[in-house]
Copies of this chain bind each other. A is one copy, B any other.
């Protein structure tokens, strides 16, 4: 069917969506978290993600899916991105629409393409281990599997979904990939402990590597109407009819996570494999996570992100600044201060998760101008 190496068939997809409510007021509908430098690396999460994928097949084989509203910001942040590699959504439709549409467009251009989908807002620092895992995943995908990367848990986290692993697929020396028995949703703490203690569970980092054809085949089985619409969009994407077809089909697309539409049913069908990996991986869910992550720009026990002039005395926590104001902290411990031009948040690490409910309250009280 194809004479190319698996790696020659590989194409990365970066679905860049999600507002990141827990990172308000830094992360906004107008400037979601992937557009920010949350690690102090000097690059945004999106740029870091892009750079991480270049080694597999070059910068020409990375496609970004994002909302229309972020088109200019993405173009500005990734200068090497061609227009052919930028898929703009007219409205947010969750991960199935984003990833499957990208996969279908790529498959139309290149029928034997193997796609890999990697979220725009994750942090991975061990590039070597990441590359090794993805390269193995690509090899396994080429054998006709949907492959995910499973992170070896370092604690009984309740913040992530888990992957129950089965038998090793290939008993040669280097291969580590296993069958996936099933995906399980975010557990409670007791169950999370059981999972971790068993040694049979990995964190689901939401990365999928698969032949586009196989992924879309699975979608056709579980969401046939969606599959049909997406195939029609892809069919017309690189033609003058794109706009009209998208306008007629996109708005009605179902909002569903790819975990439900593809990963879980494919796992039940025995079509999913997982490459276990033990690199550090963060999904940067809230400001407490950023504080943990932050190693540069520290002032004592205070992590500082952004260009604020900071004067801190006996203070710890994290200060995120999107202004050039002077910020003075005195005697505040484990504090979170997020300073933006039109909104200021002051909370503590302990309450970092509650930022989401605050954003909900802002919606409810008609403060959408700052969301």
Contact = CB atoms under 8 A, between A and B. Distances in A.
A346 B337 contact: yes
Interface in A339-371: 339, 341-348, 350-351, 354-355, 357-358, 361-362, 365, 367, 370
A326 B345 CA distance: 8
A330 B347 contact: yes
Q: Quick one: copies of this chain in the complex? A: 2
A248 to B, nearest CB: 39
Contact of A358 (B330, B335, B342, B357): B330
B354 A330 contact: yes
A345 to B, nearest CB: 5
Contacts of A358: 311, 313, 328, 330
Contacts of A314: 351
Contacts of A57: none
A255 interface: no
Given A326-B343, A337-B346, A367 B331 contact: no
A332 interface: yes
B331 A348 contact: yes
Given A311-B365, A365-B311, A355 B330 contact: yes
Contact of A346 (B25, B309, B329, B365): B329
A354 B335 CA distance: 18
A269 interface: no
A328 to B, nearest CB: 5
A342 to B, nearest CB: 6
Contacts of A159: none
Given A313-B358, A346-B337, A367 B330 contact: no
A335 B325 contact: no
A189 interface: no
Nearest to A362: B311
A313 B364 CA distance: 15
A309 B345 contact: no
A327 interface: yes
A127 B347 CA distance: 40
Contacts of A309: 367
Choose among A313, A344, A348, A351 the residue with the greatest number of B CB atoms under 10 Å from its CB: A344
13 contacts: A25-B326, A311-B367, A313-B358, A325-B341, A325-B342, A325-B344, A326-B367, A328-B362, A329-B345, A329-B347, A330-B345, A331-B348, A331-B354
